[in-house]
Amino acid sequence: MGEGAVVGIDLGTTYSVCAIVENGRPRVISDTGGSFTIPSIVAVDDKGNRLVGQAAKRQSMINPINTIYGSKRLVGRDIHSPIIDEIQDHFKYRIAEGDQDDVRIRLRKEDYALEEIQAMILDHIRNTAQDMLGREITKAVVTVPAYFNDRQRHAVREAGRVAQMEVLRIINEPTAAALAYGYGKGLKQTIVVYDFGGGTFDISVLELRDNVFEVKATGGNTFLGGVDFDNKLAGHVIAEFKQAHNIDLARDPMSHQRVTDACEKAKIDLSTMNEARINIPYIAQGPEGPLNLDMTIKRDQFEEMIGPLVDKAMEITAKVVRESKLGKDQIEQVLLVGGSTRIPLVAKKVAEFFGKPPSKGVHPDEAVALGAAIMADALVNRESDIQLLDVLPINLAIALPNGRTMPIFDRNTSVPNQKMKVFTTSKDNQDSLKVQLVQGDSEKVDECEPIGEFVFRGIHPAAKGKARVEMVFTINSEGLLSLSARDPDTGVEQSGVLTVSDTVQKTYHQDLIQPKKPVEKKEAQKVITRTVTQEKKLKAAEAPTPKPVPSSPSAPNASARKGTPAPAQKAAAPPPRPAKPAKPARPAGKGLFARIRGWFQKKKT
């Protein structure tokens, strides 16, 4: 075994892909069977063995209750999210409640956190790639949907930690695809990446200037993808069968799984053929013996079923293009990424919308992993000659007691970024202040996703409205939020700044990641760390919610992209600024940064 390898991993909802840069060329790593995609499926069989990837997929039809599909959709979700019910309508595995309102999945008799499920997939991808490379993989860049919120991003980072993988950086899937398309080509182009995968839809508008990849706007839906098309078709097939035989195939997990699998195959056939046959022998037992399912679906019938879902994606597309402030005629290339873009109706709608045929410049299944590999290689071997300038996908706000939100960062704000807000107290001698953070496009708290909470303890005694708390909200280049707070009158500052979304203390299975031969370095490590070391969730019920100080202006947006020195951009190392800065400098941000630097210096001394 030689030196450790660095790879890019596209951790997909349905399929995952791993890629590497070798001799300056990115390539996808196949498994020993020659397949370039790894099913993102985890199962526990009747003997208690944990299975991942192809092995899990192979047994899924006979073990649907203990086989987890599409787990990425549950990552970073709250157990009370309406999404849970929707998942349960289509997938047969059992969802359990964790002790912190988090989602767990029950496999046989044990409950697994979503971070563990994702860690098992990451570990399997690593082992598969190691077998092919004959080298240990030590580091990776992992991709996430652009539309992932803070909590989901944290969960993916945590999965990397559980898998004992050094995640150099997480990057957005469309941005990675843009990298695969444009890196090293010296392009000056405005492009759209339209990424319709198995579970999520993402769209980003980017400007490419040599090796600077600047996202102008992004949007998406983490609940819109190929599995929804499969489910639509399966719903139709099940309804037809019920009408003919008065048997509900959805009631039997095995039959339901067989129908869904056959529908995915039929959907794929319909991308190249005008009709597809769904033929499943012995699907149920009728009064006169076993029944077969035999149905033909025409392409226009299928298109009618999925039309509203494709339209949903096109509505998001129109909104994102509008928010990019670019005309459609300014968009030079439209890249189609993700397996669902092979559906002719999808490609047709995209072409109609942009008034031009989409580009064939990238491979729809491989582009994201290749882009991640290029980024990983750049971070480790080329002193980061790439500059990724991404944006926040969803508004980030504070939940106010009246049920409304107070915006902190609007969607499409460039990242990294930093803002300060000043709050005051609402009671005499109030000594703590709690902020609850949410992400969503609505101004109503209950229509947004809760992200976490932050409590500042250490306000000096004062009459209500007299004390002040300065809170600094920082989003790093991965779109992850951290917070710090300070009482300017006493200089007391909250330490251990990050309490958002990582605050849940979870325990993980001790034997989750097995050391794998022949990577000797790992053999010594029988067990990995599984306990999150972050602070326990703050029980902050007693801490009153903040009252903004109307007269205290929040600090100006200190965007890295806008020229002001921004918080360290490094996932590993900060990319050098491009030769031609994108935007003129914004000196207005300097004051805040100087002050923050001052605080830290003061703290150190």
Ligand X SMILES: Nc1ncnc2c1ncn2[C@@H]1O[C@H](COP(=O)(O)OP(=O)(O)OP(=O)(O)O)[C@@H](O)[C@H]1O
One residue of 338, 440, 452, 567 binding ligand X per CB under 6 A: 338
- Does residue 200 bind ligand X (CB under 6 A)? yes
Tokens standing for residue 72: 């990425």
268 binds, among ligand X, Mg ion, none (CB under 5 to 8 A by kind): ligand X
590 binds, among ligand X, Mg ion, none (CB under 5 to 8 A by kind): none
Least Å distance between CB 8 and ligand X?
Answer: 13
Least Å distance between CB 313 and ligand X?
Answer: 12
Q: Where are the beta strands (DSSP E) in 79-200?
A: 94-97, 103-107, 110-113, 137-144, 166-172, 188-196
Least Å distance between CB 319 and Mg ion?
Answer: 21
Angstrom distance (rounded) from CA 519 to CA 37: 23
User: Do the beta carbons of residue 506 and residue 98 sit within 8 Å?
Assistant: yes
Angstrom distance (rounded) from CA 316 to CA 145: 15
One residue of 15, 93, 148, 354 binding ligand X per CB under 6 A: 15
Is residue 19 helix, strand or coil?
strand
- Does residue 26 bind ligand X (CB under 6 A)? no
The per-residue b/e assignment along 477-490, b for 16 or more CB within 10 angstroms, e otherwise, is: bbbbbbbbbbbeee
The region of 10-18, 56-64, 153-161, 549-557 touching ligand X under the rule CB under 6 A is 10-18
- Does residue 393 bind ligand X (CB under 6 A)? no
Least Å distance between CB 421 and Mg ion?
Answer: 36
Least Å distance between CB 379 and ligand X?
Answer: 22
Least Å distance between CB 219 and ligand X?
Answer: 15
| CA–CA–CA angle 413, 416, 419 (5° rounding) | 70
| CA–CA–CA angle 21, 25, 26 (5° rounding) | 50
One residue of 174, 199, 556, 567 binding ligand X per CB under 6 A: 199
- Does residue 405 bind ligand X (CB under 6 A)? no
The region of 50-58, 196-204, 245-253, 325-333 touching ligand X under the rule CB under 6 A is 196-204
One residue of 61, 132, 268, 573 binding ligand X per CB under 6 A: 268
The per-residue b/e assignment along 294-316, b for 16 or more CB within 10 angstroms, e otherwise, is: ebebebeebbeebeebbeebbeb
Is residue 50 helix, strand or coil?
strand
- Does residue 343 bind ligand X (CB under 6 A)? yes
Angstrom distance (rounded) from CA 350 to CA 352: 5
Where does this chain bind Mg ion (CB under 5 A)? 12, 197
498 binds, among ligand X, Mg ion, none (CB under 5 to 8 A by kind): none
Nearer to Mg ion, 75 or 291 (CB): 75
CA atoms within 13 A on the CB side of 46: 5
Angstrom distance (rounded) from CA 292 to CA 289: 10
- Does residue 174 bind ligand X (CB under 6 A)? no
- Does residue 112 bind ligand X (CB under 6 A)? no
Which whole-number Å values give the CA distances from 239 to 29, 217, 242, 246, in the listed order?
41, 41, 5, 9
The region of 155-163, 225-233, 418-426, 580-588 touching ligand X under the rule CB under 6 A is 225-233
Angstrom distance (rounded) from CA 369 to CA 391: 20
Residues between 287 and 326 that touch ligand X (CB under 6 A): none
Burial of 393 from C-beta contacts in 10 A (0-12 / 13-18 / 19+): buried
One residue of 220, 225, 440, 556 binding ligand X per CB under 6 A: 225
Burial of 598 from C-beta contacts in 10 A (0-12 / 13-18 / 19+): exposed
One residue of 219, 226, 393, 479 binding ligand X per CB under 6 A: 226
Least Å distance between CB 121 and ligand X?
Answer: 11
One residue of 365, 449, 453, 478 binding ligand X per CB under 6 A: 365
The region of 6-14, 161-169, 582-590, 591-599 touching ligand X under the rule CB under 6 A is 6-14
Angstrom distance (rounded) from CA 111 to CA 165: 23
Q: Which residues contact 34 (CB under 8 A, 6 or more apart)?
A: none
- Does residue 339 bind ligand X (CB under 6 A)? yes
Nearer to ligand X, 232 or 421 (CB): 232
Residue closest to 149 by CA, chosen among 314, 418, 395: 395
- Does residue 156 bind ligand X (CB under 6 A)? no
- Does residue 127 bind ligand X (CB under 6 A)? no
One residue of 50, 72, 349, 468 binding ligand X per CB under 6 A: 72
- Does residue 231 bind ligand X (CB under 6 A)? no
- Does residue 264 bind ligand X (CB under 6 A)? yes
343 binds, among Mg ion, ligand X, none (CB under 5 to 8 A by kind): ligand X
Catalytic residue positions, numbered: 10, 72, 173, 195
Burial of 526 from C-beta contacts in 10 A (0-12 / 13-18 / 19+): exposed
Would you say the C-alpha torsion 176, 180, 185, 188 has a positive or negative sign? negative
- Does residue 271 bind ligand X (CB under 6 A)? yes
225 binds, among ligand X, Mg ion, none (CB under 5 to 8 A by kind): ligand X
Is residue 542 helix, strand or coil?
coil
596 binds, among Mg ion, ligand X, none (CB under 5 to 8 A by kind): none
Angstrom distance (rounded) from CA 384 to CA 4: 18
Size of the site for ligand X (CB under 6 A): 22
- Does residue 53 bind ligand X (CB under 6 A)? no
Residues that bind ligand X (CB under 6 A): 12-15, 72, 197-200, 225-227, 264, 267-268, 271, 338-340, 342-343, 365
